[in-house]
Structure 1
């Protein structure tokens, strides 16, 4: 069995690392299974790409399509043209795509047009928000995939409602949690100092913002940042700034003695920061999964989520994009009244093993 694994952006790398490890473990048992790793180059900054390969022990990709930059349409086109050539030269039995980035959608379409099966890891998740590029990527990818490896019962139900046959849906768990659990003992202190002193556990908030609904409009971003600063009391706010967000913040000249901007962190450093936070304020989806497993309070500045299990089971709360909604939740957290939360089913570190076992059944 020949597998092509596609990765292109920061969220992908965390999801493919344990799949590759699981394939290599099966190879050691004598099974005829091989993989070819294709990096689309969607993220090409070192901290957004190379450091993840190094820290997570991901082998160097066989090919980098170098399709970063440009508009979404330009990037999609570049990925498809270059991935088509890759598949024509190295045709696999199945292409594995993960998550919901541009590379996921573009490579799925390309593979299917060449008659190659597609397996979507993290299939079936939905936010219901068609203003999100990721939601469009999910829907398109799921509409043409052959097999779906899902993270939750909600994802299973979404696929069934869309007409996918049950025998193509495989509830395996969450590969991103596989990566987190296998690296939890390797997390690295980023050694951030505030007023000359190192950060202590539970003594700061971690903040991430990058979604257009929060950062594109100057007045909205200013209001949100003011609400965050005012609601976090005396605690420092550590903000690893996404390059896109940095541009907007620079234009607004937002500053406060408790607000500390830092460069984007590596995987091991960022999760160290999260693990020891008093709370995390974010508009990311993936971070809500990691905070849930680490038991860290999480406040999500979005009006919807494709990961509802982080709210119904985990430590996450969906706050919304109205800055005025934030303070009551921060008050609850600062009073020590945050919900304890639990871990969703099959988020046990073995999702990738289940994926590879199923692929062997289907294609070997």
Structure 2
């Protein structure tokens, strides 16, 4: 009889999008008796509104390790994570290390594992903005090139990897775990979220906005332009903006004044789902929220000059903010435009199952 092996996975998470993705995959892992998961939270997002609320409302297993790294410059933050993750790997001796997306937690986990000769699994591999000024772009490229198994969400991601010489039986297109999450948590949000009532909102009488990317928040001219245009748009339609801690700090530091935007504290995923479902349009610089806009069939303006999710731009579901148009122009252009939001870009909502099935098969074939 062939010996059965327990697959021990260390999952590295640290930021809001990773909590959402990990919740989806962890829920599937529970169905596999030969797969055991150890969750390591780096503490990259440490504010309760940016971290703890996600674990509570999404039923994510409590992390086995919380490294409490906190914020800091990229080099220090990544270095501190690398040191502490290495200690956990040496202690736990996992079968593999699983990382998500493109944050400092992602690259720290991937580097710590690969230097210890532990296989790395990268979920959401192959994305490219082709803008190396973005820290996330550097993180995702390096992570892809040290990973042993790469799970991609789209055909474009597969093509990007092929152009960089990464292909064959390392790369699997499975769809997007964020789509899995959107399908699963929408039903929970309908029952549990009261944010629409709390903010006295009506369906489609507001625009939902988010701003947090360093290239926007750390540039005074750019951040001022974003808030000035959002403030102008808010004279036409209500603009609701959950204010990221870094964005709030920079807004105060740059003395940017707004009169019309409705700012709220950071919110959990369940409340965000309800705002996305109820709003008329989404304006964001978040990679994940661009997709969530599509999942919830809302037009989206992306506060960047490029995006990883190029298929949304090509299909005219997502529009990039440029010097040519301010937000009022884009809002007016989009609001009367009939969008085709029926595309099948991100799989069938079973990406997490396909990921764990493939990991198990790989180990069974050893």
Into which bin does the TM-score normalised by the smaller protein fall? over 0.9
TM-score (normalizing by structure 2): 0.92
- The residue that corresponds to 2:356 in the other structure is 356
How far, CA to CA, are the matches of 1:209 and 1:38 in structure 2? 27
CA contact under 8 A between 2:196 and 2:274: conserved in structure 1?
no
Deviation string 1:109-162 (CA, Å, 9 cap, x unpaired) is 110111100010001100000010000000110111001000000100111111
How far, CA to CA, are the matches of 2:72 and 2:347 in structure 1? 36
- The residue that corresponds to 1:69 in the other structure is 71
Pairs within 5 Å for 1:92-241: 92-187=94-189, 188-191=193-196, 198-231=200-233, 234-241=236-243
How many corresponding residue pairs? 354
- The residue that corresponds to 1:330 in the other structure is 331
RMSD between aligned alpha carbons?
A: 1.7
1:22 to 23, 28, 31: 28
SS at match of 2:25: helix
How far, CA to CA, are the matches of 1:50 and 1:215 in structure 2? 24
CA contact under 8 A between 1:208 and 1:281: conserved in structure 2?
yes
2:62 to 44, 60, 73: 60
Distance 1:340 1:7, change over 3 A: same
- The residue that corresponds to 1:254 in the other structure is 257
Compute the displacement of 1:70 (Å).
2.2
CA contact under 8 A between 1:153 and 1:171: conserved in structure 2?
yes
Distance 1:7 1:88, change over 3 A: same
How far, CA to CA, are the matches of 2:324 and 2:62 in structure 1? 43
How far, CA to CA, are the matches of 1:303 and 1:74 in structure 2? 28
How far, CA to CA, are the matches of 2:104 and 2:217 in structure 1? 20
Deviation string 1:27-53 (CA, Å, 9 cap, x unpaired) is 2xxxx2211111111111111111101
Compute the displacement of 1:304 (Å).
0.6
CA contact under 8 A between 1:232 and 1:330: conserved in structure 2?
no
Compute the displacement of 1:254 (Å).
1.7
How far, CA to CA, are the matches of 1:314 and 1:146 in structure 2? 34
How far, CA to CA, are the matches of 1:209 and 1:66 in structure 2? 24
CA contact under 8 A between 2:129 and 2:137: conserved in structure 1?
yes
SS at match of 1:244: helix
Q: Which runs of 5+ in 1 are unaligned?
A: none
CA contact under 8 A between 1:127 and 1:135: conserved in structure 2?
yes
